């Protein structure tokens, strides 16, 4: 709704919200009002038209017994001491009338005042004329029809039909409020020939906030004739407080001029609204329109109020049924993904395995895991950098105790992010898990563009009146279409409940697994430390005897000198060769032990830089020419730089060593999908054009001291290199494998970030 400005004043769009409609100062003329001070039961206020019932204007200060007969006065005295703000029907008689002239009044107590409302005999006489069965039986029949409705849509339509049958209004609409306060006609029954309003939306400003509060307090509101002038309350203000009488619970309260104009612009002459209240909140209204004057008797009001309660209860029950059915369907995905998570080594490394159930459980288009390791996504989400900023923005907006946050207008809610950063997403539901493995779990919904049909352009008009500005309702209700952008589908009650259950289950699983991992890691750390200490000590201590063997062989050879026979020379050479082989094995064991010792120093590693250093270390030691090492992909990743350099050094050295080609090529890179924006685990590779690896040996080559060739072939070696590679990769939580065509080359693949 746009504001309008004039040189003299500004139209404040909250004026309607501040209009004191409960202090209307008058009542509709088909009813009369008498108000007594409850302590003294003396007349404090009365409507200017009450003389139609009394025969004369009463005097302020008159006692109850001056106006009503003795029995009626006793009833009113009892009512004055009863529960406040409960409107009750009561049979009363005027003091000057006979017993046969008793009438029904509506009596209630509010703010120290006893209110007695009466209706004209003509209105009272028409009670139940719309029903051949009478009001009680008609309400009972309506209830049976409502109970038999199969779904929500049918219930809304039948509710409108039954209220119209009961009351006789030309049009009855079921009007539902959305979370932003605007309303939509979701059910309708209308006289033949009337244009349908079904599906039309009405802006929140059509019903001011104080009117919504009154709808909860006073659930039936009738307007008999929009053209009739109200009967003023006399005196207008209380003598002590100097405030007008509070008419919040009065049946015949006069109508706000703005609302009169609003209904007249719609062509309506009379109306009734019945509140549909769910758990203390205003869910919607039964809105009734008539195109000629139409007053409701107290009995018809009471029947309408009961119908409102029945409809509200049916809507609540049907909605609860739908919610339960939807919740049960979602729980299947929820339980399945928890089972998967429970059996998986990590959520991070297995997001793809649980993504389908995560998306189905929350009916979302994408999901992201945010942890100390970074961001990983699946499905339709903003880019990873934007997801990280979204998580940071949510973190800064919510309390530490808040576990769930959601919006269907992500761009509007987080205006610090540009709309083009959000990608396809317009909705987000965030779960705070506060676990190192998963700090936030974010669900995203794509933009849901839809066309909304409004009953007229949803704006109020500011008009200049006597040099001032007055807001008036729009005067056109012709269908006005609007395309809504930047919104996703709303997060529903089921969404938030399932999300809460999912969070609880995930937190419990992650906590249990964290405790178990801590225990296992402590045991493994001790075992690994013992094994590493043994391997280090063994490899270190074995080198001394080996040096002794080599020295002894040398001295023996020198001592024998020229007297050595060929057989002795052969055996001495074998001793030197075996000692050298033993030294290689011991050094390999020592290198393997060192690869598992010390803490990883995780940092951002440039693939190009670490590959360059590794290649220089290999090529410095190699005297071969015709070797080309190329880095075919760039980018950064998280790892221990020195460990990755050692890993690549071993792989490059093997690629050069086990290669019979004249032009040896080694390519180092990363798969495209491994570096995509969805946060998938990076997959690196080292590819060569060497001799290849036979298929049946592709697992064995990663075992310690496992060589595929004779010791004297391809320059020898300990066979520990690929075992060291496997250990380095394992410490990073990744895996390593080889694909090869025998005789044409091999490609070693490895990951580094699956479960660190």
Q: In what order do the strands lie in the sheet with 664-670?
A: 627-631, 664-670, 683-688, 745-751, 736-741
Residue 366, φ and ψ in degrees, nearest 5: -155, 160
644 and 732, same domain (yes or no): yes
pLDDT, residue 727, reads: 84
Domain stop point among 96, 119, 142: 119
498 and 620, same domain (yes or no): no
pLDDT, residue 234, reads: 93
Residue 81 is assigned to a structural domain of this protein: yes
638 and 574, same domain (yes or no): no
Instruction: Quote the CA–CA distance of 624 and 664 in Å, as a whole number.
Output: 10
> What value, to the nearest 5°, has the Cα angle with vertex 583 and ends 579 and 588?
150
Domain stop point among 84, 119, 154: 119
Question: 457-501: per-residue pLDDT in tens?
Answer: 566 554 444 544 444 454 545 555 656 678 888 898 889 888 888
Residue 535 has pLDDT above 70, yes or no: no
Window from 166-180, 556-570, 669-683 with minimum mean pLDDT: 669-683
> In this structure, how many other beta carbons lie within 10 angstroms of the beta carbon of residue 142?
23
Residue 423 is assigned to a structural domain of this protein: yes
390 and 293, same domain (yes or no): no
pLDDT, residue 4, reads: 29
Report CA torsion sign: 531, 532, 534, 535.
positive
Q: What is the DSSP string of 11-72?
A: --TTHHHH--GGG-SEE-TTEEEEEEETTTTEEEEEETTTHHHHSSPPPTT-BHHHHB-HHH
303 and 163, same domain (yes or no): yes
Question: Helix (H) and strand (E) counts for the chain?
Answer: 18, 29
Which of the two residues, 292 and 5, has the higher pLDDT score? 292
Instruction: Quote the CA–CA distance of 61 and 40 in Å, as a whole number.
Output: 9
Mean pLDDT calculated for residue range 437-466: 67
Contact 506, 441 (CB under 8 A): yes
Burial of 29 (C-beta count, 10 Å sphere; 0-12/13-18/19+): buried
172 and 317, same domain (yes or no): yes
Provide the CATH number for the domain around residue 389: 3.30.450.270
With cut-offs at 50, 70 and 90, classify the pLDDT of residue 687.
very high
Q: Is 117 left (phi over 0), alpha (psi -120 to 50) or beta?
A: beta
pLDDT, residue 371, reads: 79
181 and 259, same domain (yes or no): yes
Instruction: Quote the CA–CA distance of 634 and 648 in Å, as a whole number.
Output: 15
Compute CA distances 715 → 150, 657, 719, whole Å.
82, 7, 12
Residue 595 has pLDDT above 80, yes or no: no
Percentages (nearest 5) of helix, strand, coil residues in the chain: 40, 25, 35
pLDDT, residue 127, reads: 62
Which of the two residues, 593 and 296, has the higher pLDDT score? 296
642 and 504, same domain (yes or no): no
Which residues, 6 or more positions from 714, have their beta carbon under 8 angstroms from its beta carbon? 657, 658
Residue 225 is assigned to a structural domain of this protein: yes
632 and 707, same domain (yes or no): yes
**Which of the listed ranges 328-342, 485-499, 573-587 does the model predict with the highest average pLDDT?**
485-499
Which of the two residues, 553 and 324, has the higher pLDDT score? 324
Residue 243 is assigned to a structural domain of this protein: no
Compute CA distances 176 → 179, 181, 604, whole Å.
10, 9, 54
Percentage of the chain surpassing pLDDT 70?
Answer: 76
With cut-offs at 50, 70 and 90, classify the pLDDT of residue 310.
very high
What angle do the packed helices 135-147 and 152-167 form, to 10 degrees? 170
Q: Which residue has the tokens 């106006």?
A: 67
Residue 181, φ and ψ in degrees, nearest 5: 95, -15
Q: Considering its fold, how many domains does the chain have in total?
A: 5
Average pLDDT, the chain: 79
Longest dimension (CA), the chain: 156
Residue 176 has pLDDT above 70, yes or no: yes
612 and 696, same domain (yes or no): yes
411 and 465, same domain (yes or no): no
pLDDT, residue 563, reads: 78
Window from 71-85, 86-100, 541-555 with minimum mean pLDDT: 541-555
Window from 173-177, 352-356, 444-448 with minimum mean pLDDT: 352-356
Which residues, 6 or more positions from 165, have their beta carbon under 8 angstroms from its beta carbon? 130, 131, 138, 142
Residue 126 is assigned to a structural domain of this protein: no
Domain stop point among 393, 422, 447: 447
pLDDT, residue 750, reads: 92
Mean pLDDT calculated for residue range 213-217: 83
Residue 577 is assigned to a structural domain of this protein: yes
Kindly report the three-state secondary structure assignment for every residue of 343-412.
Answer: HCCCCCCCHHHHHHHHHHHHCCCEEEEEECCEEEEEECCCCHHHHHHHHHHHHHHCCCCCCEEEECCHHH
Mean pLDDT calculated for residue range 173-196: 90
Residue 225 has pLDDT above 80, yes or no: yes
Residue 125 is assigned to a structural domain of this protein: no
pLDDT, residue 155, reads: 92
Which of the two residues, 706 and 255, has the higher pLDDT score? 255
Contact 196, 219 (CB under 8 A): no
How do beta strands 745-751 and 736-741 pair? antiparallel
Helix (H, G, I), strand (E, B) or coil at 121: helix
Question: 599-648: per-residue pLDDT in tens?
Answer: 677 888 899 999 988 888 787 654 556 788 888 877 888 888 888 888 89
pLDDT, residue 20, reads: 61
Residue 25 has pLDDT above 70, yes or no: yes
Residue 161 has pLDDT above 90, yes or no: yes
Instruction: Quote the CA–CA distance of 505 and 495 in Å, as a whole number.
Output: 15
Residue 5 has pLDDT above 50, yes or no: no
Instruction: Quote the CA–CA distance of 174 and 159 in Å, as a whole number.
Output: 8
Helix (H, G, I), strand (E, B) or coil at 171: strand
352 and 498, same domain (yes or no): no
Say what the pTM is.
0.62
Residue 89: strand pairing partners: 106
Q: Which residue has the tokens 């979302």?
A: 364
Joined together, the tokens standing for residue 701 give 């080559």
Say if residue 235 is preceded by a cis peptide, omega within 30 of 0: yes
Rg (CA), the chain: 43
Range(s) of the domain holding residue 714: 600-756
Residue 724 has pLDDT above 90, yes or no: no
Mean pLDDT calculated for residue range 355-361: 87
Question: 256-278: per-residue pLDDT in tens?
Answer: 888 888 888 888 999 999 999 98
Provide the CATH number for the domain around residue 568: 1.10.287.130
Residue 253: strand pairing partners: 27
């Amino acid at each position: 709704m746009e504001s309008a400005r004039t040189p003299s004043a500004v139209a404040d769009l909250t004026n309607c919200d501040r209009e004191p409609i409960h202090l209307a100062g008058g009542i509709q003329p088909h009813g009369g009002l008498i108000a007594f001070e409850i302590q003294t039961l003396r007349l404090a206020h009365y409507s200017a038209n009450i003389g139609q019932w009394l025969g004369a204007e009463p005097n302020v200060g008159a006692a109850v017994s001056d106006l009503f007969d003795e029995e009626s006065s006793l009833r009113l005295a009892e009512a004055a001491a009863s529960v406040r703000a409960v409107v009750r029907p009561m049979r009363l008689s005027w003091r000057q009338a006979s017993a046969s002239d008793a009438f029904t009044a509506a009596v209630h107590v509010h703010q120290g005042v006893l209110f007695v409302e009466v209706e004209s005999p003509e209105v009272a006489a028409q009670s139940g004329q719309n029903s051949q069965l009478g009001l009680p039986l008609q309400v009972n029949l309506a209830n049976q029809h409502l109970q038999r409705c199969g779904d929500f849509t049918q219930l809304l339509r039948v509710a409108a039909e039954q209220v119209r049958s009961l009351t006789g209004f030309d049009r009855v609409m079921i009007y539902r409020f959305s979370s932003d306060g605007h309303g939509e006609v979701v059910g309708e029954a209308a006289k033949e020939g009337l244009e349908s309003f079904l599906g039309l939306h009405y802006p929140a400003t059509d019903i001011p906030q104080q009117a919504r509060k009154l709808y909860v307090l006073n659930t039936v509101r009738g307007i008999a004739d929009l053209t009739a002038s109200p009967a003023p309350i006399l005196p207008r203000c209380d003598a002590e407080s100097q405030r007008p009488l509070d008419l919040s619970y009065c049946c015949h309260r006069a109508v706000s001029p703005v609302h009169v104009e609003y209904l007249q612009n719609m062509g309506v002459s009379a109306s009734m609204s019945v509140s549909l209240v769910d758990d203390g909140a205003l869910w919607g209204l039964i809105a009734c329109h008539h195109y000629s004057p139409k007053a409701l008797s107290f009995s018809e009001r009471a029947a309408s109020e009961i119908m409102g309660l029945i409809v509200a209860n049916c809507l609540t029950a049907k909605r609860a049924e739908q919610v339960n059915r939807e919740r049960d369907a979602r729980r299947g995905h929820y339980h399945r993904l928890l089972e998967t998570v429970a059996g998986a080594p990590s959520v991070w490394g297995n997001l793809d395995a649980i993504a389908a159930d995560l998306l189905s459980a929350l009916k979302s288009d994408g999901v992201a895991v945010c942890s100390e390791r970074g961001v990983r996504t699946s499905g339709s989400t903003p880019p990873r950098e934007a997801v990280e900023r979204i998580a940071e923005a949510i973190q800064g907006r919510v309390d530490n105790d808040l576990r769930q946050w959601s919006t269907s207008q992500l761009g509007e809610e987080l205006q610090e992010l540009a709309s083009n950063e959000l990608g396809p997403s317009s909705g987000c539901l965030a779960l705070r898990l506060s676990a190192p493995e998963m700090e936030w779990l974010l669900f995203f919904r794509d933009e849901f563009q839809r066309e909304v049909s409004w009953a007229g352009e949803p704006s109020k008009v500011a008009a200049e009146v006597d040099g001032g500005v007055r807001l008036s309702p729009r005067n056109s209700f012709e269908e006005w279409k609007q395309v809504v952008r930047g919104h996703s589908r709303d997060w529903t009650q089921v969404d938030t409940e399932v999300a809460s259950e999912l969070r609880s289950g995930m937190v419990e699983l992650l906590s249990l697994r964290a405790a178990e991992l801590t225990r296992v890691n402590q045991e493994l750390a001790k075992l690994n430390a013992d094994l590493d200490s043994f391997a280090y000590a063994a490899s270190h201590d074995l080198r001394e005897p080996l040096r002794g063997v080599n020295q002894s062989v040398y001295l023996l050879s020198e001592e024998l000198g020229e007297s050595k026979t060929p057989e002795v020379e052969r055996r001495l050479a074998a001793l030197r060769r075996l000692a050298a082989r033993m030294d290689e094995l011991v050094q390999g064991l020592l290198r393997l032990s060192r690869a598992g010792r010390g803490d990883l120093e995780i940092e951002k590693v440039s693939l190009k830089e670490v590959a360059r250093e590794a290649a220089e270390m290999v090529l410095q030691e190699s005297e071969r020419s015709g070797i080309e090492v190329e880095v075919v992909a760039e980018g950064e990743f998280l790892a221990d730089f020195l460990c990755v350099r050692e890993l690549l050094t071993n792989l490059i050295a093997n690629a050069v060593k086990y290669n019979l080609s004249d032009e040896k090529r080694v390519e180092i890179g990363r798969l495209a999908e491994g570096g995509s924006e969805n946060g998938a685990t990076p997959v690196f590779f080292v590819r060569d054009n060497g001799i290849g690896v036979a298929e049946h040996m592709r697992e064995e080559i990663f075992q310690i001291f496992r060589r595929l060739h004779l010791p004297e072939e391809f320059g020898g070696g300990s066979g520990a290199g690929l075992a060291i590679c496997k250990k380095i990769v394992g410490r990073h939580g990744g895996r390593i494998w080889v694909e090869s065509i025998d005789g044409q080359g091999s490609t070693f693949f490895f990951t580094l970030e699956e479960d660190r």
